[in-house]
Amino acid sequence: MTRPSLLVTRRLPQVVEAQLAASYDVALNRSDTPLTPAEFREAIQRFDAVLPTVTDKIGPEVLDVPKAQTKILANYGVGYSHIDIEQAKTHGIAITNTPDVLSECTADLALTLMLMVARRAGEGEREIRSGVWDGWRPTHLMGTKVTGKTLGLVGFGRIGQEVAKRAHFGFDMEIVVYNRSPVAPEILARFNARQVRTIEELLPLSDFVSLHCPGGAGTTALIDGPRLDLMKEDAFLINTARGEVIDEAALAQALMFDTIAGAGLDVFEREPRVNPLLAQCDNLVMLPHLGSATQEARRAMGLRVLANLNDFFEGKTPRDRVA
């Protein structure tokens, strides 16, 4: 029996590639470089399934083909705003993602950014590496205490709740939540959290604001200049969600003029390009999209993709089907 053909657009952990190859006729992108739109169009017309990542742009220009051979886009990642869902539907292409398995590691990284920017760890590390540190002194790189502060969470799904757990029980933080839909009272009660109705209400209450909302047209530039102006001058902004959620030019201005105290970013508006204004901001910690970058999470993501593919080609509804 002929096995379904599968294109894997980036290199994955070896154990994942091996298990995919055991069940599918797999083509690997051994150069590990992003595919061009033309290469994606060819793949859509050639392979039964494509395994893209969250940084692959699968827009109208990719899906503008006379006939698609691909029956499923088994996305490696939670977000899928990089895929043109409506255009994929016109070809009858199913779409799956990989929720749950990266929530803990992404929450860990959000706390990492929070601690780094509050305690000026990035500045200190750069000072040591450059050889200019001249020893301890009482006023050197004084940061901000995290314990006991108020954390505002924009989005309160799986990752937001994991961040709340770490912040509330680990750092005794007060949790304030903005979510598009009402959060069940029993979930809020786990973290002694309260939900507010608008982002505008949340921002001035928060010492730290951490973003955990989906990407897409509805959240593009969600945090813009006017909303940054609502934050406290000594507050910090953390983003481990999607880069387009923040207006980076407005953020750079807020950081340069000290209208907020600092920020920590793991994602960027036009990855892998980073707005050069951001690099000029010492009160900013930047990481190269490391939210799920642990061996455990990346393996689990791959195995979740495999489970979705297996369900689909066995005629079942994949547990993580989103379209």
Task: Give the HSE-up count for residue 241: Cα atoms under 13 Å, Cβ half-sphere.
Answer: 29
Mutual orientation of helices 14-23 and 295-313 as an angle, nearest 10°? 10
Residue of 39, 271, 299, 321 with catalytic role: 271
Residue of 41, 119, 168, 289 with catalytic role: 289
pLDDT beyond 90 at 212: yes
In this prediction, residue 295 has a pLDDT band, given cuts at 50, 70 and 90, of: very high
pLDDT single digits (tens) 195-204: 999 999 999 9
What pLDDT sits at residue 194? Answer: 98
296 is catalytic: no
What pLDDT sits at residue 198? Answer: 98
CATH 3.40.50.720 for the 5-100+295-313 domain, yes or no: yes
Closest-CA residue to 201 (of 231, 158, 166, 245): 231
pLDDT single digits (tens) 175-188: 999 999 999 999 99
pTM for this entry: 0.94
CATH number of 103-286: 3.40.50.720
Query: How would DSSP label each residue in 189-249?
Result: HHTT-EEES-HHHHGGG-SEEEE----SGGGTTSB-HHHHTTS-TT-EEEE-S-GGGB-HH
Q: Calculate what percentage of the chain has a pLDDT beyond 90.
A: 97
My answer on whether omega of the bond before 52 falls inside 30° of 0, hence cis, is no
When pLDDT is averaged across residues 61-88 and rounded to a whole number, the result is: 95
Residue 183's alpha-carbon distances to 8, 104, 189, 218, 261, in angstroms, are 37, 20, 10, 20, 30
Please tell me the distance from the alpha carbon of residue 304 to that of residue 308, in angstroms, as a whole number: 6
When pLDDT is averaged across residues 269-291 and rounded to a whole number, the result is: 96
pLDDT single digits (tens) 7-45: 999 999 999 999 999 999 999 999 999 999 999 999 999
What is the 8-class DSSP label of residue 50?
E
Please tell me the distance from the alpha carbon of residue 142 to that of residue 196, in angstroms, as a whole number: 32
Residue 182's alpha-carbon distances to 129, 176, 177, in angstroms, are 47, 13, 10
In this prediction, residue 249 has a pLDDT band, given cuts at 50, 70 and 90, of: very high
What pLDDT sits at residue 305? Answer: 98
What pLDDT sits at residue 31? Answer: 95
What pLDDT sits at residue 13? Answer: 97
When pLDDT is averaged across residues 52-74 and rounded to a whole number, the result is: 94
Cβ–Cβ under 8 Å, residues 96 and 72: yes
Domain range annotation of the chain: 5-100+295-313, 103-286
pLDDT single digits (tens) 83-133: 999 999 999 999 999 999 999 999 999 999 999 999 999 999 999 999 999
What pLDDT sits at residue 250? Answer: 98
What pLDDT sits at residue 55? Answer: 86
Q: In whole numbers, what is the pLDDT of the chain averaged over residues? A: 97
What pLDDT sits at residue 234? Answer: 98
Mutual orientation of helices 103-118 and 295-313 as an angle, nearest 10°? 150
Counting beta carbons within 10 angstroms of the beta carbon of residue 293, is it exposed (0 to 12), middle (13 to 18) or buried (19 or more)?
middle
Asked whether the domain spanning 103-286 has the same topology as the one spanning 5-100+295-313, the reply is yes
Strand partners, 85: none
What pLDDT sits at residue 264? Answer: 98
pLDDT beyond 90 at 274: yes
pLDDT single digits (tens) 123-164: 999 999 999 999 999 999 999 999 999 999 999 999 999 999
Angle CA 264–267–272, to nearest 5: 125
127 is catalytic: no
Taking phi over 0 as left and psi of -120 to 50 as alpha, with beta for the rest, 30 belongs to: alpha
Residue of 242, 244, 248, 269 with catalytic role: 242
242 is catalytic: yes
pLDDT single digits (tens) 306-316: 999 999 999 99
Please tell me the distance from the alpha carbon of residue 236 to that of residue 281, in angstroms, as a whole number: 13
